[in-house]
């Protein structure tokens, strides 16, 4: 017998039928009540009580150079001050302060006041702050407007007349419509200027479905030299949407460069606002809502770039192509990062003109291509230090090991030439670097072998990303035995390859940034600092604290005692803007909080958080003895002091460096120079390359030299006037010397002639 009653008249089955039917009837009753009895009530509500979330776009952080916020009285600054009417007497009193650098506005004004008198300085305060600002603003934002249309409220005729006002075809707008909801506003245009907007506003009644939103766009202060540092912005792609929760379709995000890498910090936080809408989607009023949120502006970025040096380096390039990097060797800050040719970022601030885009894309000089981190070149002779260090450190050769260079080198049946056809004669490690002798390094390369060489190359971080804050960086290539086996087959390659890569030719490829990093490591005797472009990030939103004073002030502003006592638990606590608003909402209620917020925030004590600075991250290249560094560096010192790189030397300054002239399959040789200065206690390292520019010593080294002059000039350690004076004296001395020499020579000839004469007479 079963426990279950299987008769078709089972009362329990009927009971279940009953429950189901009763429940269904209950639901049906509920729907009948809502949809038929109370339909008009709810229809009314749905028509006027619709709440919609609006996104409020935050302002993207500004970008400054490293010196923004520091002040200095300079010659040009004084000229400008005089032109705007600052009295000469006052400026004369301030002259002792010339060239001194002040780290803050307050310190600067204080020092000025001590010399010039408080009242006087205050009178011209704005002029002083403006013309003595050391730094440069590189990027900020300009207002522009985005237009939206609600498809359900827009007719074909409206589209036609809209398209005659804004420069967008009807087809384009309809295409946007196809992908969207009928009631959802669709973005049909962005970067509409104010004048167009006014025109549309005048005809507002003709376009019931039209809405607009402020959407800041980037404004770049420099036409060139920053494109590859900053990178461009653009509308978010579908593949990027998942990268962060706050990304939404239609967002503008960083697409390249530091704008992309630091996008999350720069863009700020979107705000939301809930608004009441009527049935046709028009805004009725803003409402207090717990999810309402302010848009928080992005943090300001201070680059490590020195705008003065960046501009100067740019001017040194003229029309040539290549890359320039300068690094502070004490912390890895990149002072200059330049890839030429580049392009005007303002072209990308709005939706790019397709014509412009096409020209940029098809330009054979590839201005869109970042040569500093994405281009890989054979390094040529600048790479010889790697072979030298490997040979010396592994004990394969001694520092005194020397080679006779007759100007060529025979390997098997082939003869390879040294660049110096006359030959370098007897050379050891130091003089081989000084004279960049190929024969020495051919022989050394053969002795070292591919494995050791590749090992030392990777130890100096070649073949690896530098992980600077830029996008699409290339690692270059350090060929290994495995690599050659793969390319040429096992035993399919000869030792000749080794001779070749030891002088930085062949399959070896490096980026200019890696070379700058290499120069920094040599300058530091093996210490590497993470290269970086971000000096600090500054939050524009202060932190708030309600003090006794704030409560007094609020009481004076007629805030009721009940509210004040409700606020008392918040007293003397520090809050971020966001958390304070949350607290206000919960302590005094949404409506009150909305209303009193300006007064309460206004009375609060504000304090700005300390900026996040980039902490230097250092690593040591271990296992290389100090003596080895000493020998190689001595070679590099001699390169600058009379060797192949003498043109990179700076008057009265020491330094080390190496030239390179890299053969390549694309035409003329690339001109390379890497170096650092001063020789003891180095501060700055440089890597420069001119694509197909010619010889490193003749083309690249002088540019490095000029840049270093300028660097030391800004530090007050190099005076152009003095230097020119010195050169003039030197020139005159030489002229005098030459005159004397020729007089002496003439004398000698005359003497000898005289000596000959009597003999003839004899």
Contact set with another protein (CB under 8 A): 1-6, 8, 10, 12-13, 16-17, 20-21, 23-24, 26-28, 30-32, 34-36, 38-39, 41-43, 45-47, 49-52, 179-184, 241, 248-250, 277, 279, 281, 287-290, 590
Query: Does residue 351 contact residue 189 with C-beta atoms inside 8 Å?
Result: no
Please say which residue, 147 or 262, places its beta carbon nearer to another protein: 147
CB of 251 to another protein, least distance (A): 10
CB of 235 to another protein, least distance (A): 11
Please say which residue, 24 or 757, places its beta carbon nearer to another protein: 24
Residue where the block lists tokens 């560094």: 629
Please say which residue, 545 or 582, places its beta carbon nearer to another protein: 582
Please say which residue, 290 or 716, places its beta carbon nearer to another protein: 290
CB of 244 to another protein, least distance (A): 15
CB of 27 to another protein, least distance (A): 5
CA dist list (Å): 565 to 275, 551, 558, 575, 587: 31, 10, 14, 18, 10
Q: What is the DSSP letter of 532?
A: B
Q: What is the DSSP letter of 394?
A: T
**Measuring CA to CA, which residue among 169, 216, 213 is closest to residue 187?**
213
CB of 211 to another protein, least distance (A): 13
C-alpha to C-alpha distance for 160 and 163, rounded to whole angstroms: 5
Please say which residue, 234 or 463, places its beta carbon nearer to another protein: 234
Please say which residue, 248 or 562, places its beta carbon nearer to another protein: 248
β partners of residue 72: 101
For residue 678, cis peptide bond before it (omega within 30 degrees of 0): yes
Rounded to the nearest 5°, which phi and psi values hold at 535? Answer: -90, -50
Please say which residue, 7 or 610, places its beta carbon nearer to another protein: 7
Please say which residue, 279 or 365, places its beta carbon nearer to another protein: 279
Which uninterrupted H or E stretch holds 125? Answer: helix 125-131
Residue where the block lists tokens 């089955």: 13
Residue where the block lists tokens 């907007």: 197
Please say which residue, 168 or 446, places its beta carbon nearer to another protein: 168
Please say which residue, 289 or 357, places its beta carbon nearer to another protein: 289
**Measuring CA to CA, which residue among 254, 336, 347, 266 is closest to residue 301?**
266
Please say which residue, 29 or 406, places its beta carbon nearer to another protein: 29
Q: How are beta strands 333-340 and 322-328 bridged, if at all?
A: antiparallel
CB of 565 to another protein, least distance (A): 25
CB of 54 to another protein, least distance (A): 12
622: left (phi over 0), alpha (psi -120 to 50) or beta: beta
Q: What is the DSSP letter of 349?
A: H
Please say which residue, 38 or 161, places its beta carbon nearer to another protein: 38
CB of 569 to another protein, least distance (A): 20
Query: Does residue 272 contact residue 54 with C-beta atoms inside 8 Å?
Result: yes
CB of 222 to another protein, least distance (A): 35
Which uninterrupted H or E stretch holds 393? Answer: helix 384-393
Please say which residue, 179 or 204, places its beta carbon nearer to another protein: 179
Rounded to the nearest 5°, which phi and psi values hold at 316? Answer: -70, -25
CB of 621 to another protein, least distance (A): 40
| CB-count burial class (<10 Å; 0-12, 13-18, 19+) for 717 | middle
690: left (phi over 0), alpha (psi -120 to 50) or beta: beta
Query: Does residue 130 contact residue 170 with C-beta atoms inside 8 Å?
Result: no
CB of 566 to another protein, least distance (A): 20
CB of 150 to another protein, least distance (A): 10
Please say which residue, 142 or 181, places its beta carbon nearer to another protein: 181
C-alpha to C-alpha distance for 165 and 207, rounded to whole angstroms: 12
User: What is the rounded end-to-end Cα distance, in angstroms, of the chain?
Assistant: 162
**Measuring CA to CA, which residue among 403, 385, 386, 398 is closest to residue 450?**
386
Please say which residue, 135 or 281, places its beta carbon nearer to another protein: 281
**Measuring CA to CA, which residue among 131, 310, 312 is closest to residue 720?**
312
Token pair recorded at residue 2: 């079963």
C-alpha to C-alpha distance for 606 and 545, rounded to whole angstroms: 7
Which uninterrupted H or E stretch holds 54? Answer: strand 50-56
CB of 183 to another protein, least distance (A): 4
CB of 363 to another protein, least distance (A): 34
C-alpha to C-alpha distance for 193 and 402, rounded to whole angstroms: 71
CB of 294 to another protein, least distance (A): 18
Please say which residue, 4 or 198, places its beta carbon nearer to another protein: 4
CB of 123 to another protein, least distance (A): 54
Q: How are beta strands 300-303 and 63-64 bridged, if at all?
A: parallel
**Cα dihedral sign for 134, 332, 611, 313?**
positive
Rg (CA), the chain: 36
User: In sequence order, what DSSP letters do the residues of 559-580 get, joined into one string?
Assistant: --HHHHHHHGGGBT-EEEHHHH
Residue where the block lists tokens 């607290």: 583
């Amino acid at each position: 017998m079963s426990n279950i009653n299987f008769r078709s008249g089972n009362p329990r089955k009927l009971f279940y039928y009953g429950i189901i039917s009763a429940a269904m009837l209950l639901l049906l009753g509920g729907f009948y009540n809502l949809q038929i009895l109370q339909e008009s009530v709810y229809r009314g509500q749905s028509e006027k009580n619709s709440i919609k979330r609006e996104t409020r776009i935050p302002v993207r952080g500004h970008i400054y150079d490293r010196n923004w916020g520091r002040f200095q009285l300079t010659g040009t600054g004084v000229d400008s001050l005089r032109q705007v009417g600052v009295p000469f007497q006052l400026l004369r009193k301030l002259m002792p302060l010339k060239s001194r650098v002040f780290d803050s506005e307050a310190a600067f004004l204080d020092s000025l006041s001590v010399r010039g008198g408080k009242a006087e300085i205050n009178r011209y305060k704005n002029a002083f702050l403006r013309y003595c600002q050391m730094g440069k603003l590189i990027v900020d934002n300009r207002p522009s407007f985005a237009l939206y249309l609600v498809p359900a409220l827009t007719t074909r005729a409206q589209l036609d007349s809209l398209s005659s006002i804004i420069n967008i075809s009807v087809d384009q707008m309809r295409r946007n419509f196809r992908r969207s909801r009928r009631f959802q506003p669709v973005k049909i245009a962005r970067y509409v200027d104010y004048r167009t907007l006014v025109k549309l506003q005048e005809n507002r009644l003709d376009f019931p479905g039209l809405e607009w939103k402020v959407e800041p766009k980037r404004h770049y202060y420099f036409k060139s030299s920053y494109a590859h540092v900053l990178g461009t912005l653009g509308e978010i792609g579908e593949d990027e949407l998942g990268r962060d929760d706050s990304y939404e379709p239609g967002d503008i995000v960083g697409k390249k460069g530091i704008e992309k890498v630091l996008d999350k910090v720069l863009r700020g936080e979107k705000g939301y606002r809930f608004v009441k809408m009527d049935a046709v989607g028009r805004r009725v009023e803003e409402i207090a809502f717990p999810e309402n949120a302010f848009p928080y502006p992005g943090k300001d970025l201070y680059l490590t770039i020195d705008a003065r040096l960046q501009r100067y380096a740019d001017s040194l390039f003229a029309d040539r192509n290549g890359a320039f990097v300068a690094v502070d060797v004490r912390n890895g800050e990149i002072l200059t990062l330049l890839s030429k040719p580049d392009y005007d970022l303002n072209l990308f601030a709005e939706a790019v003109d397709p014509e412009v885009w096409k020209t940029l894309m098809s330009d054979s000089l590839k201005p869109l291509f970042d040569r500093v981190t994405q281009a890989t070149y054979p390094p040529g002779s600048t790479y010889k230090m790697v072979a030298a260090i490997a040979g010396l450190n592994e004990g394969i050769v001694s520092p005194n090991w020397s080679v006779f260079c007759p100007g060529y080198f025979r390997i098997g049946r082939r003869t390879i030439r040294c660049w110096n056809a006359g030959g370098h004669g007897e050379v050891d490690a130091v003089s081989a670097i000084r004279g960049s002798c190929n024969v020495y390094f051919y022989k050394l390369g053969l002795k070292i072998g591919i494995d050791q060489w590749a090992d030392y190359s990777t130890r100096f971080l070649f073949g690896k990303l530098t992980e600077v804050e830029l996008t699409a960086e290339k690692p270059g290539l350090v060929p290994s035995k495995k690599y050659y086996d793969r390319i040429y087959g096992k035993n399919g390659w000869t030792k000749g390859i080794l001779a070749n890569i030891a002088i930085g030719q062949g399959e070896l490829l490096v980026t200019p940034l890696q070379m700058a990093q290499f120069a920094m490591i040599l300058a530091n005797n093996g210490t590497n600092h993470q290269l970086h472009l971000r000096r600090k990030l500054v939050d524009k939103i202060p932190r708030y604290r309600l003090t006794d004073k704030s409560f007094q002030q609020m009481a004076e502003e007629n805030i009721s005692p009940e509210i004040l006592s409700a606020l008392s638990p918040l007293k003397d606590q520090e809050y971020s803007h966001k958390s304070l608003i949350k607290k206000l909402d919960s302590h005094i209620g949404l409506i009150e909080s909305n209303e009193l917020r300006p007064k309460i925030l206004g009375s609060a004590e504000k304090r700005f958080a300390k900026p996040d600075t980039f902490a230097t991250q250092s690593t040591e290249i271990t296992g290389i003895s100090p003596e080895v560094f000493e020998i190689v560096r001595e070679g590099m010192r001699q390169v600058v002091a009379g060797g192949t790189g003498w043109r990179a030397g700076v008057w009265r300054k020491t330094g080390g460096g190496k030239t390179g002239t890299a053969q390549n399959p694309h035409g003329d040789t690339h001109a390379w120079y890497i170096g650092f200065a001063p020789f003891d206690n180095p501060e700055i390292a440089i890597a420069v390359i001119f694509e197909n520019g010619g010889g490193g010593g003749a083309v690249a080294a002088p540019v490095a030299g000029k840049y270093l002059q300028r660097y030391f000039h800004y530090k007050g350690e190099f005076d152009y006037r003095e230097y020119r004076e010195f050169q003039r004296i030197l020139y005159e001395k030489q002229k005098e010397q030459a005159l004397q020499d020729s007089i002496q020579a003439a004398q000698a000839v005359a003497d000898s002639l005289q000596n000959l004469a009597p003999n003839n007479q004899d």
